[in-house]
Structure formats: C-alpha cells, structure tokens
C-alpha cells in the first residue's frame, strides 16, 4: 500500500458525479422536448451511460424529474445572487425576471412530466413545488428590495405578487420574446423610473 503524498479522491466517485450531471442534462432536454413520455432508455443513451447507471442514480422516473427541476431552481437562485452583485438595482431585477420567463417557457414539458410522474392534478401543490417556490421567492426578495430602495419600483409590491404576475405572463404566450415584451409592459405599471444599466452595482 502506498504511503505519504497527497491522497486522491476516489475515481469512481468523480465518475459517478459526472454521470449524474450528464443524466440531468440529457433528462432536461428530453422532458423539455417530449414531455411526460420521454424515454428513460433514450435519456441514458444520450448521457452516454447504461440503464443500470441511470437507475442507480435515479431509481424512479419521479426522482429523476424532481432532480432536474431542483437543478433548474438552483441555477435560477445562483443567477439572482450573481446578477445582484453585477447589475444595478432595478436592472438586476428585470434581467432575473426575464430568466424566470425563459425557465417557465422552456420547462412546460418538464412540468407536464412532473405532474404525470407524481400523479398530481394540474395545479395541485406538492412538498417539492412548495419548497421551490420558497427558494425562488427568497432569491428575488433582495433584488426587489434593492429596486425599491433605489426608487425604481413601487414599495408596496410583495414578492408573492410579483412572482404571480411573472408566472401569469409566462403562461399567456408560448413565445418567449412576446412573454418578455408582456413582462416589460406589466412592470412599467409598477416602476417609478426606468432602471439604469449604467448605475453602480451594489456591494
């Protein structure tokens, strides 16, 4: 047995993580394209792994779909933090809400698959969905507070009201470009001034 030197992380663990990430990417694309009927065999093939590897990571279709959704929500929340650090108040909020519109538009098939896999009635809440709503509400709250403090948006707007408006806009149109336009028209009624892209970002 070798002694001394720097211990290396076990290779199988790194390979397993890469396989999991490839499966999530492949599943996201498949459910977005096909919906609830996406083939798990095709997902495994697109990820470059065998069926046994897929089921080792995700024993059920419902677990795979939930993992894809959780990954998407995590990316949205991380984006909110990044935009708050990089963008001026108001502009950060608007750009993040556009990203939410894109997420909702691209996730129609995934939502259908989630409802089907969990045998939910359309619109029926589930613990996962409620948790994801809490996470996105927490992500947008600082962006909204910054916009309010900068005087670019009315101060009586609640986070849940804002997210309900964004969700409604996203569901009106299948065209993300039109949805972005509707979002901006909606927010114009809430803004006290147009957010400036030239203002200094917050620390």
Which residues does 6 contact at the CB level (< 8 Å), separation at least 6?
none
N- to C-terminal Cα separation, the chain: 51
How confident is the model at residue 109, as a pLDDT? 76
Distance of CA 5 to the CA centre of its chain: 41
Residue-by-residue DSSP string for 97-137: HHHHHHHHHHTHHHHHHHHHHTTPPTT---HHHHHHHHHHH
The CATH class, in words, for 61-203 is mainly alpha
For residue 187, the model assigns a pLDDT of: 83
What was the pLDDT predicted at 202?
Answer: 47
**How much is the pLDDT for 5?**
47
The angle that helices 61-86 and 108-117 make with each other, rounded to 10 degrees, is 140
Extents of the domains making up the chain: 11-59, 61-203
CATH for 11-59 (1.10.10, 1.10.3470, 2.130.10, 2.60.40): 1.10.10
Check if the beta carbon of residue 32 is closer than 8 Å to that of residue 106: yes
Grade residue 121 by pLDDT with cuts at 50, 70 and 90. Answer: low
In Å, how far are 44, 114, 170 from 175, measured between CA atoms?
A: 30, 22, 9
pLDDT tens per residue, range 27-37: 999 988 888 78
Output 89 or 3, whichever has higher pLDDT. 89
């Amino acid at each position: 047995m070798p002694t001394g030197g720097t211990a290396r992380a076990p290779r199988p663990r790194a390979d397993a993580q890469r396989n999991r990430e490839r499966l999530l990417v492949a599943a996201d694309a498949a459910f977005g394209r096909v919906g609830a009927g996406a083939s798990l065999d095709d997902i495994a093939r697109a990820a470059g792994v065998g069926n046994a590897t897929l089921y080792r990571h995700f024993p059920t279709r419902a677990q795979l779909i939930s993992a894809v959704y959780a990954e998407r929500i995590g990316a949205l929340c991380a984006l909110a933090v990044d935009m708050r650090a990089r963008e001026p108040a108001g502009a950060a909020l608007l750009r993040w809400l556009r990203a939410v519109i894109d997420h909702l538009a691209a996730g129609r098939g995934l939502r259908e698959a989630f409802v089907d896999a969990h045998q939910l009635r359309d619109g029926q809440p589930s613990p996962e969905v409620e948790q994801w709503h809490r996470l996105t509400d927490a992500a947008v709250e600082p962006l909204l507070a910054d916009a309010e403090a900068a005087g670019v948006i009315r101060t009586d707007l609640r986070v849940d009201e804002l997210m309900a408006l964004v969700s409604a806009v996203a569901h009106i149109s299948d065209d993300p470009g039109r949805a972005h336009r509707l979002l901006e028209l909606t927010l114009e009624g809430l803004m006290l001034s147009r957010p400036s892209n030239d203002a200094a970002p917050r620390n």
